[in-house]
Amino acid sequence: MIAVDKLAKRFKLTKEHKKNKERHDSREYDGYFHSVKNVSFTCNHGEVLGLLGPNGAGKTTTLRMLSTALKPDHGSILIEDDNIVKQPLLGRKAIGFLSGSTGLYGRLTAKENVEYFGKLHGLKGHALKAKCDELFSMLDMTTFLDKRAEHLSTGMKQKTNIARAVVHNPKVVILDEPTTGLDIMTTQTVISFIRSLKAQGIPVIFSTHHLDEVALLCDKIAVIDQGLSCFDGTVTDFMKQGGSTELNQAFLNLLSGNKHV
């Protein structure tokens, strides 16, 4: 289980930014840009949570705080009973994180990349081989395991990135737009993999702009707008509060209603 409570993060504005009046955002005040002001949501065992919001809403900053790459100014992130804001090392062990900037070592093969990150997390011998073989099969990677990462296609790289993100058996998996730029077949493999994590009872948080994926996968939805939580609940409640059985329309209605909670 992961529980996010009242997260906030601000960034100091540069002198150049302050002078540029045309780029003013309502979250710019007191010499800071308040990227995330108050964000809360929970994702329990066996749940998939879709993290939604318009561009610039604060989703990326929120995810970077969950990954422990950024330290919140306020708030807590609990994984089971551990507050990973205060214990970031525990968070890095407990979370499998994939972002758009997740990279691979180009001169290593797909297999070597995944094995390397497994070893960094303390896996070795039979345990490492068994976990890698399981992931390679689930993500349909066997045809390109011996290819250098620098020669992999976009889809192959994304599968390898996902494998390296979860090779250490994390308690929570966080995926930032995992299907962006992928073809239909690779997207389906990623969706099937997320379902397998759910079946294992692993909480999964993933941000996406594709609400059809939310309909396929999600038990819960959290929406961030202007750095604030404006929804955290089930898909059914999302449609009810958004006033539509179509997720796209419910999302637009919810944002236009500005119903922050």
- The domain that holds 16 is classified in CATH as 3.40.50.300
Query: For residue 251, is it within any domain?
Result: yes
CA dihedral of residues 87, 90, 92, 93 (deg, nearest 10): 180
181 vs 191: CA distance, rounded Å = 14
The pLDDT value recorded for residue 261 is: 41
Query: For residue 117, is it within any domain?
Result: no
Q: What are the residues whose beta carbons fall under 8 Å from the beta carbon of 55, sequence distance 6 or more?
A: none
* Parent domain of 244: 2-100+167-257
Pairing state of beta strands 95-98 and 172-176?
Answer: parallel
Per-residue pLDDT band at 21 (split at 50, 70, 90): low
Per-residue pLDDT band at 260 (split at 50, 70, 90): very low
Pairing state of beta strands 172-176 and 204-207?
Answer: parallel
User: Residues 173-223: pLDDT tens digits?
Assistant: 999 999 998 999 999 999 999 999 999 999 999 999 999 999 999 999 999
Per-residue pLDDT band at 14 (split at 50, 70, 90): confident
The pLDDT value recorded for residue 258 is: 58
- In 3-state terms, what secondary structure has residue 157? helix
The pLDDT value recorded for residue 185 is: 95
Angle formed by the axes of helices 125-138 and 184-199, nearest 10°: 130
Angle formed by the axes of helices 154-166 and 184-199, nearest 10°: 10
Question: Residue 77 pairs with which residues in a beta bridge?
Answer: 4
The pLDDT value recorded for residue 217 is: 96
The pLDDT value recorded for residue 173 is: 98
Query: For residue 116, is it within any domain?
Result: no
Task: Using alpha carbons, select from 97, 80, 69 the residue that is nearest to residue 168.
Answer: 97
Average pLDDT, integer, range 129-156: 97
| Number of structural domains in the chain | 1
Query: For residue 132, is it within any domain?
Result: no
Query: For residue 148, is it within any domain?
Result: no
Query: For residue 151, is it within any domain?
Result: no
Per-residue pLDDT band at 224 (split at 50, 70, 90): very high
114 vs 167: CA distance, rounded Å = 7
The pLDDT value recorded for residue 259 is: 47
User: Residues 152-169: pLDDT tens digits?
Assistant: 999 999 999 999 999 999
Query: For residue 127, is it within any domain?
Result: no
Q: What is the pTM of this model?
A: 0.92
Query: For residue 71, is it within any domain?
Result: yes
Per-residue pLDDT band at 19 (split at 50, 70, 90): low
Per-residue pLDDT band at 24 (split at 50, 70, 90): low
User: Residues 79-132: pLDDT tens digits?
Assistant: 999 999 999 999 999 999 998 767 899 999 999 999 999 999 999 999 999 999
The answer to whether 46 and 11 have CB atoms below 8 angstroms apart is no
Could you write out the DSSP letters of every residue in 26-94? Answer: TTEETTEEEEEEEEEEEE-TT-EEEEE--TTSSHHHHHHHHTTSS--SEEEEEETTEETTT-HHHHHHH
